[in-house]
Structure formats: C-alpha cells, structure tokens
Copies of this chain bind each other. A is one copy, B any other.
Amino acid sequence: MLLYGTGAVGSLYGGKLAQAGAGVSTVCRSDFKEVSETGIQIKSVFGDYHFKPEAVVKKGGDYSYRPDYVIVATKVLPEIDVAEMIKDSVYPETSIVLLQNGIDIEKSIAARFSNNEIISGLAFVCSSRTGYGQIEHTDYGRLVLGIYPGGISPKVELLAEMFRAAGVPTEAEEDVIAARWKKLIWNAPFNPLSVICSGADTSEMMSDDKIQELSRSIMEEVIQLASADGHPLDMALIEKNITDTIRMKPYKTSMLLDYEAGRPMEVEAILGNAVRIAGKNSIQVPHIKTVYALLDILNKRNLSVKTIPRSHR
C-alpha cells in the first residue's frame, strides 16, 4: 500500500494498517527526513504506537512496487492536484482510496482514473499533527468506506477487515455519497462557524442561540442538497447533530486549528462544492453561500499574511 499524506489522518490510519500486517509505504515531502529516519509516533486513544513505513519516498514514481491500494489522505485543496500526484503509482489493479473530508471530492479522480476502483473513505476522528512525525489522536476514530459512486467490493471489505483487526471501528457502506452528505451536516456549519466566530469551540457556538439557529439553517440546506443530489437524508438528523454537539466535550474543529496555524482551510471541499451542487440543481442555499463567502475571504486573508499566523485572539 502506498500512502500519500502523512498528516493527522494518514499517519493514524496508515499506521493502523501497518499494525494489521499490511506493508505500508509513504510518500513524504516536508516531513521526508523525520519520517525516513525515525518513522511516526502516534499518541492515540487506540493506544500509542509507532509507525515505521516500509519505504519512504519523495514521489509516487520512486515507489518500486505495484500497490494494491493507493491511499490519499492529503487535505482537499485547490493547489493539490491529486491525479497528478498519484498517477505514477496507479496501476490497473490499484484501488484508489480517498480518505478525505468534504463533498463531491471524488469526481475528478474517478474521471481521470476511470478504470480504477475508487474507494471513498470518511474518518470521524479528532487527530492533529503536533510536529513532523508526531501525531496526537484524542477522540473518536471510526471509518466509513465504500465504492464511489456506490456499492461495496471485495477490496473494500478486505480493507475494512484490516482496519478492524487493528482496532479501528470500520463500516463498509453501500451509499458512501450519502455518508458524505450525512457528515457534511455537521461539518458545514461547525467547521466554518468556529473560524468566523473568532475561534469558538463547539460549546461556545452552541451556547449562542443565534449561532445554534444558524447551524440548523445550514443543516437544513445540506439536507436539501443531499436530496437533490439523489441521497435523501432524514430531517431528524438536524436535532441529533445539535444535541450531540451540545453534549460533546468542547471541541475545536480541525478547520479552526488550520486557521490558527496559518494553514489553508478546506473551503471548497466543505462549502464551495456544496454551493456548486446547489447551482446545478437550482436550489437556493443563502445561509451556506453567505458563510462560504466569509470563510473564503478569511482564508485568503489568513494566507496572505506571510509571517505570523493570523489569530483572532
């Protein structure tokens, strides 16, 4: 297996597959030195473990084997051309696993590699990279895997089995696009609002009546879009998400952590793609569109400050 992206998510799950006995190699760029020399240390609620990749290469073309699985765990960003990045390591038998956030993130890869199996993966996890080769996994951790655009294959089931063997709760999902929409119900309001509300955690957001109401409005729009996209979801998911979020331990979203660290946020994956789907289906999503415009400019302004990261506090 070849893993692209040794950040918070890739390292955690790549390491778990290695624990399950898979030969997992990694493509590393900024962290090449640390990972090749000392591997990756994962402090995890699954139990701490060390991940020493079989091989560490700088680009896909340097990997000598034909991978059964290419796992993409990079952030979804306009500047990362995933197809370009992985093409030299993709063979006819290779399943491409997109272990990434957002909605509609598979389409361009599926179009480019139209003869390859595309496995779409969702990670429900609180994990962050604290340094090169250093990961901290603090909560949750389950995975959902399915064929894009739908179905379950033997290779999906095999991958799920390996994760489970290493202790990761993993579900094989027939309708993985529906699962992405379902996850977006939570991510679409809370990731952006945590940033726009000047660095608020989930507790601070939920304590505010207007923000709670705005969250519901965004969730309603997500459900509308899911339905138009052919994946109807239950409106009851709104109250469930609100209640769960009120109850959870106060949590700073990964988007907020990116913002505070001066890293690019996944604006298009979480909001922009949803806005485009709305346009295609002639659906009005004024709440999502408003938040999208604000998050987008905050992202641009954050990245234009070249020295210290912009922080609201």
Give residues in A with beta carbon < 8 Å to B. 193, 196-198, 200, 204-205, 208, 210-211, 213-214, 217, 286-287, 289-294, 296-298, 300-302, 310, 312-313
- For A193, what are the chain B residues with a Cβ–Cβ distance below 8 Å? 294
Name the residue on B nearest A300 (C-beta): B208
Name the residue on B nearest A215 (C-beta): B293
Name the residue on B nearest A313 (C-beta): B310
- A293/B210 in contact, CB under 8 A: yes
- B293/A211 in contact, CB under 8 A: yes
- For A294, what are the chain B residues with a Cβ–Cβ distance below 8 Å? 193, 196-197, 211, 214, 294
Complex Cα gap A42–B204 (Å): 42
Complex Cα gap A280–B286 (Å): 20
- For A298, what are the chain B residues with a Cβ–Cβ distance below 8 Å? 197-198
- A217/B290 in contact, CB under 8 A: yes
- For A208, what are the chain B residues with a Cβ–Cβ distance below 8 Å? 293, 296-297, 300
- For A198, what are the chain B residues with a Cβ–Cβ distance below 8 Å? 298, 301-302, 310, 312
Complex Cα gap A205–B211 (Å): 23
Complex Cα gap A199–B286 (Å): 23
- Shortest A221–chain B CB gap in Å is 9
Complex Cα gap A93–B244 (Å): 59
Give me 12 other A-B pairs in contact (C-beta within 8 A), A197-B301, A217-B289, A287-B289 excluded: A198-B302, A200-B297, A205-B297, A208-B293, A208-B297, A210-B296, A211-B293, A211-B297, A214-B294, A290-B291, A294-B294, A310-B313
Complex Cα gap A204–B205 (Å): 28
Complex Cα gap A168–B205 (Å): 45
- Shortest A17–chain B CB gap in Å is 40
- Shortest A213–chain B CB gap in Å is 7
- B292/A290 in contact, CB under 8 A: no
Name the residue on B nearest A302 (C-beta): B198
- For A287, what are the chain B residues with a Cβ–Cβ distance below 8 Å? 286, 289-290
